[in-house]
Amino acid sequence: MERRNFLKNALGCGLAVHPLVKATGSWNAAIVKAALGRANVATGPKVPVFVYNNWSAYDELSDNVPQTEQLAMRELSEIIRLKKSGVQIDYYVMDAFWFDKGGAYREWHRQHWPEGPGKWLEGCKANNIKPGMWFSTNLIATQSGRFLEVIDEWKDSLGTDPNIMCLFEGGYLNHLAGSLQFWYDKGVRLFKFDFAYFEAVTPGAKGKYSPEQIKEKNKAAFMGMLRQFREKNSDVMITGYNGFGGDMENTFTPFRKTVDARWLEVFDTLYSGDPRFSDVPMMNIWRSQDNYSDHMVNQFAYNGLPLRRIDNCAFMIGKTGTCYYRALQAWKGMLILELARGGWLNVYHGNLELLDDQQGRWFARTQGLFHELQQEDGFSTFGEIPGNGKPYGFSAKGRKGMVFTVVNPTQSVTEIGLPGGSGVSRILYADDGFKPVMHGNALTLGPEQLVVVGFEGYAAVKYDLGVDETVRIPQSIRKLETAFSDKGSQHHITATINKTPHTDVRILFRQLDATGKPYRTWGGAPPDGKKMDEWLNIQVTQEGQPVPLTIHYDKMIWSGLSWAAGEVHSKDIDPKKPLQIDCLSAEKEKIHLEAEVYAVTY
């Protein structure tokens, strides 16, 4: 579930009454082009920048890990350490809940920051790092209750929904503008806005305007405030997150025009969704998460955003529920794709202490390659839409040649052409296992594999990024024709493989609704949620005895999951005995299941 709607829905406000901003019939290509033209002059990063955001080092939404001064200062010391290894960090953003509940964005959390932010602000300044801060646009409560009290200056802006503030009436917006200036004057240079609800209306205004007029008045008021703030403070960076457009809940909804191009006149970048898992099932669950962010970047590009203006927000190495306790699992591919998508706001979230100095040097080398390319602004997408589950990638044209970052989300060895690639080439990076092969400008790569290819000057050894030995891609894979049938319920399907292979066996199953679209199940967030393997379960047996199963989706996933994947190893299978596979869902809604089975060799 899209996070901003998850928060409001938990308060009883309902998804149906809080749709994302939709394009109107009055939109046309000329209007979008004109808005983009104005935006490119006034806003947008002037050069590629690199941002650390401390969200997922703590987590007060999908977990119970608070943000504290101790935590924030620890991460500042880690930034300083990594910079010595060559990592570039230009900004440090203090994310949500830095503020005191009664302080109206002008006082830091009294318990967690008893002496205020002075030490942090000075530490950033001393190390040539620009501070940044998070602000909720107009939401003041989560499922846990109020996180901001309504001060006197805000009371005449309180909405008929008491969890959101009206932006076009009362004193809230003017006071917020004053808070931004207050922190700018103390050295803050990046302002992140989240959780925008433009349906907010005061009781007095509710009967005067239609719902569409209310949304437009809120948007116009907020845009006007940001314009004035930028005009007064020309060196600020302003970024937009939840509530400013985009279909973020899944990866199968056809692309629509949902982003109002006027946002690009006031925001430097718009983000394309919190990292979560796509609806393309994969054994490597982290590659499915990569696939989600790849898909969202394509969607926002479809909405007219230049790639450099899209914040893909995909690099999180934290130890909290918001990033599914990922830590450093498959982090190299995650970093490569964060950079290869072409955005000029490169954001790194989470526990930087997880990266040792050697890993920091690899981080810096990877960052250096793509920073050089980003400065040329020659990035584009190619191949299929990622959510379709077919090969795709990102290309970058630089002064020395081209670099292609390619993903194969399929369960097969696949070839894909690299458009524009010519001359000498070199595999710069690959997940371990299958050895990718270049023939001219055609790349052959393994199932679920990520590969980076350099051409001409970028085919030099100095750009090598090596192999990620923690990600294993099968050397071969073939689909086993397997007939699954319902076992007395659409929530339970079963099949028997009589000719059991002498290989590992990979099982993927999807949960679909009545129309055949992927259907996500939510098991809840830590600490009270259930792991997804309790909802979507694969069982493998031989003669009634369970066979050990390797899975990676056994996590509490706040964003839900529509599929499951597992493997049994050849050493645990007797090829002389039939193999029975059962796929079960505990979902209460009416759904049906589909499954596929593959023989894989590593």
150-188 tens-digit pLDDT: 999 999 999 999 999 999 999 999 999 999 999 999 999
pLDDT in tens, 330-342: 999 999 999 999 9
Residue 524: its pLDDT value, please? 87
Q: What is the average pLDDT across 495-512?
A: 97
Residue 42: its pLDDT value, please? 52
The per-type count for the chain, helices as H runs and strands as E runs, is 10, 30
Q: Positive or negative CA dihedral for 373, 374, 376, 377?
A: positive
DSSP letter assigned to residue 42: H
pLDDT in tens, 233-271: 999 999 999 999 999 999 999 999 999 999 999 999 999
pLDDT in tens, 48-105: 999 999 999 999 998 999 999 999 999 999 999 999 999 999 999 999 999 999 999 9
234: alpha, beta or left? (left if phi > 0; alpha if psi -120 to 50): alpha
Q: What are the beta bridge partners of residue 510?
A: 563, 594
Q: End-to-end CA distance of the chain, in Å?
A: 35
DSSP H helical ranges for 375-443: none
10 Å CB burial of residue 84 (0-12, 13-18, 19+) is exposed
The answer, yes or no, to whether residue 456 has pLDDT greater than 50, is: yes
The mean-pLDDT minimum among 1-5, 144-148, 177-181, 555-559 falls in 1-5
Residue 12: its pLDDT value, please? 31
pLDDT band at 7 (very low <50, low <70, confident <90, very high): low
d(CA 222, CA 23): 18
Domains of the chain: 3-373 (3.20.20.70), 383-473 (2.60.40.1180), 478-601 (2.60.120)
Question: Would you call 346 helix, strand, or coil by DSSP?
Answer: strand
pLDDT band at 106 (very low <50, low <70, confident <90, very high): very high
The answer, yes or no, to whether residue 28 has pLDDT greater than 60, is: no
Q: What are the beta bridge partners of residue 568?
A: 505
Q: What is the average pLDDT across 267-283?
A: 98
Residue 101: its pLDDT value, please? 97
10 Å CB burial of residue 469 (0-12, 13-18, 19+) is exposed
Which phi and psi (to 5°) does residue 2 adopt? -60, 130
d(CA 323, CA 330): 13
Share of the chain above pLDDT 90, in %: 90
Residue 58: its pLDDT value, please? 97
Residue 254: its pLDDT value, please? 97
The answer, yes or no, to whether residue 29 has pLDDT greater than 50, is: no
Residue pair 264/305 in contact by the 8 Å Cβ criterion: yes
Side chain identity at residue 19, one-letter code: P
pLDDT in tens, 344-383: 999 999 999 999 999 999 999 999 999 999 999 999 999 9
**Mean pLDDT across the chain:** 93
Residue 137, C-beta contacts closer than 8 angstroms, at least 6 positions apart: 167, 193, 194, 195, 196, 197, 222, 243
Q: What is the average pLDDT across 203-222?
A: 97
Residue 142: its pLDDT value, please? 87
The answer, yes or no, to whether residue 14 has pLDDT greater than 60, is: no
Model confidence, pTM: 0.93
CA 419 to chain centre: 27
pLDDT in tens, 538-548: 999 999 999 99
CA-based radius of gyration for the chain:
25
d(CA 166, CA 162): 10
Residue 25: its pLDDT value, please? 30
The mean-pLDDT minimum among 14-23, 424-433, 495-504 falls in 14-23
Pick the more confident residue, 10 or 436.
Answer: 436
Q: Record the tokens describing residue 464, joined without a space.
A: 């090598």
Select from 2, 20, 42, 368 the least CA-distant residue to 197: 20
d(CA 208, CA 246): 29
The answer, yes or no, to whether residue 574 has pLDDT greater than 80, is: yes
The answer, yes or no, to whether residue 39 has pLDDT greater than 70, is: no
Q: What is the average pLDDT across 421-440?
A: 97
Longest dimension (CA), the chain: 77
pLDDT band at 526 (very low <50, low <70, confident <90, very high): confident
pLDDT in tens, 553-571: 999 999 999 999 999 999 9
Residue 135, C-beta contacts closer than 8 angstroms, at least 6 positions apart: 105, 176, 179, 180, 191, 192, 193, 194
